[in-house]
């Protein structure tokens, strides 16, 4: 695969899964139902 | 006393189940390939941040604050906008008339996978042995195997919903875990096939020159809008079951990113398998690439038949994945409709549910399960997506952005949310999203009038326009009926 494809793969993983993990970490600090 | 989700996880999973549907598996990877490969991710992420997530926050806020299904929710926002809730409800009703039929096809194919019954020519099998397509103007006979699978599909939809929201949350949570396991298996299987890297090259290699084309940007905004199941009322009704002080913004981020993450991941399963198929045929990936029904019922079965080992197992797993993706979305389509009538007129929700499931099943059997049903499914899907849902989304933004005050909504959202939103949200709701949806809507109307759609006779398209007008009139009429 060309380098540009690897870069887009990295950007995709970073934004989607990185963002998701950050949001889940924020949510885990809250107690109760919410 | 309004029903409540059992936990925050149940709400997130149910909303994610609503958003993750068949399109995540068979539409996104194809859209990515046809709109610049990896470069498509740039407009896609911008659309997610400027339209998808802001609109998701808006729908969660409307449902959470008003504690009602779309008609009641919009009535509480402004009594004159109640029709918008009904319009969304009738739009989603049209979807659940045909959506379980696609689930039924997946269920049939799940059983066909055991003996790889599509043989050496899956295209011929799908069109002429399985559906026995006729012509849009000739409905033809009922397809018995579709009819039986449709009974099972509707049975499962009813069973998932009739015990209430708490039980639905538990069921969908379980199904979502199964879906992630299944897609992971499909990705691992795909990546370990010969030639898979060739497929991924097509999926991810960016062609940045396409970013100058406005159509690519419109495609990205359209994809984000449809993949998140916005403007269908489902997110409004799901969030109306949230208890006091529930988060809005972070939940919207989690659901939106989770949904797009699923699409991105599914792309690896699809394109690695396409790479394998191209390698076996000695052609280029672009010669085997397809999306939608073609990918699910023709290209993928071709690849499954040629797997070195365990072909029936992977066939069953793939169609099970599609079926579950369909089921978690189908329940979210029926819920706003039943809750709409129950909230507005005080009817017993379970009676409305039984009536909705029964009548939708009868209509689906009478039209979409027949030989010519495929064409009508395609026509109705096109009209609902581009003329009902886009219009609802556009007017939704206008109502919140101009009829009520977005700054007040923002204040309310920030009071209960873990992530605070700024003025950028007002700009997205007042300007960016409505402008993009407005352009999408106008271009689609012009294109349909000028070029028609899918080569169908114009009489079929007038039926499509007629159905949209009929549900619009019905929405205004229902607004005038006395409240419960």
Burial of B410 (0-12, 13-18, 19+ CB in 10 A): buried
**B9 interfaces chain A, CB cutoff of 8 Å:** no
In this prediction the ipTM stands at 0.94
* Mean pLDDT score, B366-385: 90
Q: Model confidence over B319-328: pLDDT tens digits?
A: 999 999 999 9
Number of A–B residue contacts, CB under 8 Å: 72
Does residue A34 register a pLDDT over 80? no
Q: Which residues of A touch B8 (CB under 8 A)?
A: 27, 33-34
Per-residue confidence (pLDDT) for residue B288, from 0 to 100: 82
Confidence of residue A32 (pLDDT cuts 50, 70, 90): low
Nearest to B247 among A9, A15, A30 (CB): A30
pLDDT of residue B481: 81
Q: Which tokens in the block code for residue B131?
A: 């559906």
N-terminal to C-terminal alpha carbon distance within chain A: 44
Query: Residue B136: its pLDDT value, please?
Result: 84
Which sign does the torsion angle of CA B53, B248, B227, B404 carry? negative
Please judge whether A17 and B261 are an interchain contact, meaning their C-beta atoms are less than 8 angstroms apart: yes
Q: Which residues contact B284 (CB under 8 A, 6 or more apart)?
A: B278
Q: Model confidence over B204-262: pLDDT tens digits? A: 998 899 999 888 998 899 889 889 999 999 999 999 999 888 999 999 999 999 999 99
Which residues does chain B have within 8 Å of residue A21's beta carbon, measured at their own beta carbons?
Answer: none
Q: Please tell me what DSSP assigns to residue B211.
A: G
> What residue in A sits closest to B46 (Cα-Cα)?
A15
Over chain B, what is the mean pLDDT? Answer: 92
| Confidence band for A33, pLDDT divided at 50, 70 and 90 | low
Per-residue confidence (pLDDT) for residue B290, from 0 to 100: 77
Residue from B4, B39, B41, B52 to probe the interface with A (highest A Cβ count within 10 Å)? B41
**Chain B interface mutation, best of A2, A23, A32, highest count of B Cβ atoms under 10 Å:** A23
Please tell me the pTM assigned to this model.
0.94
Residue B195 in contact with partner chain A when CB distance is under 8 A = no
Q: How many CA atoms lie within 13 A of A25 on its CB side?
A: 6
User: What is the pLDDT averaged over residues B102-119?
Assistant: 94
Under DSSP, the state recorded for B368 is I
Q: For the residues B16-36, what does the mean pLDDT come to?
A: 89
Q: How many CB atoms lie within 10 A of CB B359?
A: 12
pLDDT band at B44 (very low <50, low <70, confident <90, very high): very high
DSSP summary character for residue B80? G
If residue B62 lies in a helix (H) or strand (E), which one and from where to where? Answer: helix B53-66
**Contact across the interface for A27 and B7, Cβ inside 8 Å:** no
CA B16, distance to chain mean position in Å, is 11
Class of the CATH domain delimited by B8-480? mainly alpha
Confidence label for B276 from pLDDT (cuts 50, 70 and 90): very high
Looking at residue B430, its pLDDT comes to: 95
pLDDT confidence band for B309 (50 / 70 / 90): confident
pLDDT over threshold 70, residue B342: yes
A16 CA: distance to closest CA in chain B (Å)? 5
Query: What span, in angstroms and rounded, lies between the C-alpha atoms of B166 and B4?
Result: 7
Confidence bin at B285 (pLDDT 50/70/90) = confident
Please give the residue that has the higher pLDDT: either B165 or A34. B165
Coil, helix or strand for B254? helix
d(CA B392, CA B428): 16
Query: Based on the number of CB atoms within 10 Å of its own CB, is B66 exposed (0-12), middle (13-18) or buried (19 or more)?
Result: buried
Say whether residue A23 is in contact with chain B using an 8 A CB cutoff: yes
Strand partners, B142: B370
The pLDDT value recorded for residue B324 is 96
Delimit the domains of chain B by residue range.
8-480
- Would you state the pLDDT for residue B173? 96
Closest alpha carbon within chain B to A24: B254
Chain A residue with the nearest C-alpha to that of B203 = A5
Measured between CB atoms, does B257 come within 8 Å of chain A? yes
pLDDT band at B38 (very low <50, low <70, confident <90, very high): confident
**Tell me, what's the pLDDT at B334?**
95
Q: Given a cut of 70, is residue B427 above it in pLDDT?
A: yes
Q: CB–CB of A1 and B205 under 8 A?
A: yes
Percent of chain B with pLDDT over 70: 99
Q: Is B247 left (phi over 0), alpha (psi -120 to 50) or beta?
A: beta
Segment B48-70 shows an average pLDDT of: 95
Given pLDDT bands bounded at 50, 70 and 90, which one contains residue B484?
low
Under a CB-based contact definition with an 8 Å cutoff, are residues B300 and B273 in contact?
Answer: yes
Region B337-341 average pLDDT: 94
Residue A19 has pLDDT above 60, yes or no: yes
Average pLDDT over residues B366-394: 91
Residues of A with Cβ-Cβ distance to B5 under 8 angstroms: 33
* CA dist., res. B140 & res. B163, Å (int): 37
- Residue B284 — very low, low, confident or very high, per pLDDT cuts 50/70/90? confident
Residues of A with Cβ-Cβ distance to B261 under 8 angstroms: 16-17, 20
Q: Which of A2, A10, A15 to mutate to test the interface with B (most CBs of B within 10 A)?
A: A15
**What's the confidence (pLDDT) of residue B140?**
87
Question: What pLDDT, on the 0 to 100 scale, is given for residue B31?
Answer: 86
Per-residue pLDDT at A30 exceeds 80? no
Residue B405 has pLDDT above 60, yes or no: yes
Residue B482: band (very low, low, confident or very high) from pLDDT cuts 50, 70, 90: low
Q: What DSSP string runs through B3-57?
A: ---S-HHHHHHHHHHHH--HHHHHTHHHHHHHTTGGGGHHHHHHHIIIIIHHHHH
| Whole-angstrom distance, CA of residue B374 vs CA of residue B70 | 30
């Amino acid at each position: 695969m060309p380098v540009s494809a690897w870069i887009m793969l990295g950007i995709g993983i970073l934004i989607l899964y990185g963002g998701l993990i950050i949001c889940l970490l924020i949510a885990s600090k809250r107690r109760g139902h919410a | 006393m309004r029903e409540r989700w059992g936990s925050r996880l149940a709400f997130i999973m149910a909303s994610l189940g609503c958003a993750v549907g068949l399109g995540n598996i068979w539409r996104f990877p194809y859209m990515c390939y046809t709109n610049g490969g990896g470069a498509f991710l740039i407009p896609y992420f911008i659309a997610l941040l400027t339209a998808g997530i802001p609109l998701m926050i808006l729908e969660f806020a409307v449902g959470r604050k008003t504690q009602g299904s779309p008609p009641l929710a919009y009535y509480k926002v402004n009594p004159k906008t109640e029709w918008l809730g009904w319009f969304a409800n009738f739009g989603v009703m049209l979807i659940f008339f045909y959506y379980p039929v696609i689930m039924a096809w997946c269920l049939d194919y799940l059983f066909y996978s055991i003996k790889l019954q599509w043989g050496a020519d899956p295209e011929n099998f799908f069109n002429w042995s399985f559906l026995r397509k006729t012509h849009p103007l000739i409905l033809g006979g009922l397809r018995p195997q579709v009819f039986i699978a449709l009974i099972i599909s509707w049975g499962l939809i009813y069973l998932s919903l009739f015990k209430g929201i708490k039980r639905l949350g538990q069921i969908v949570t379980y199904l979502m875990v199964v879906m992630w396991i299944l897609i992971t298996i499909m990705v691992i299987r795909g990546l370990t096939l010969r030639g898979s890297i060739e497929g991924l090259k097509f999926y991810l290699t960016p062609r940045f020159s396409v970013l100058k084309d406005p159509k690519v940007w419109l495609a990205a905004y359209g994809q984000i809008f449809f993949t998140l199941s916005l403007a269908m009322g489902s997110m409004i009704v799901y969030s109306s079951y949230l208890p006091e002080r529930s988060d809005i913004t972070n939940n919207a981020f989690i659901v939106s990113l989770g949904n797009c993450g699923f699409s991105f991941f599914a792309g690896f399963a699809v394109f690695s398998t396409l790479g394998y198929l191209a390698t076996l045929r000695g052609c280029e990936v672009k010669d085997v690439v397809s999306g939608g029904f073609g990918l699910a019922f023709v290209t993928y079965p071709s690849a499954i038949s040629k797997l070195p080992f365990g072909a029936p197992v992977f066939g069953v797993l793939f169609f099970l994945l599609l079926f579950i993706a369909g089921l978690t979305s189908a329940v979210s389509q029926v819920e706003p409709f039943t809750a709409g009538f129950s909230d507005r007129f005080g009817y017993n929700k379970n009676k409305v549910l039984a009536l909705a499931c029964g009548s939708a099943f009868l209509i689906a059997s009478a039209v979409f399960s027949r030989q010519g049903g495929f064409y009508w499914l395609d026509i109705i899907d096109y009209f609902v997506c581009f003329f009902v849902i886009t219009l609802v989304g556009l007017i939704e933004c206008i109502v919140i952005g101009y009829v009520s005050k977005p700054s007040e909504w923002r204040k309310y959202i920030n009071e209960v949310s873990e992530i605070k939103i700024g003025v950028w949200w007002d700009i997205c709701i007042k300007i960016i999203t409505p402008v993009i949806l407005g352009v999408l809507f106008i271009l689609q109307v012009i294109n349909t009038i000028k070029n028609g759609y899918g080569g169908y006779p114009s009489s079929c398209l007038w039926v499509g326009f007629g159905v949209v007008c009929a549900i619009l009139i019905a929405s205004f009429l229902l607004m005038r009926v006395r409240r419960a």
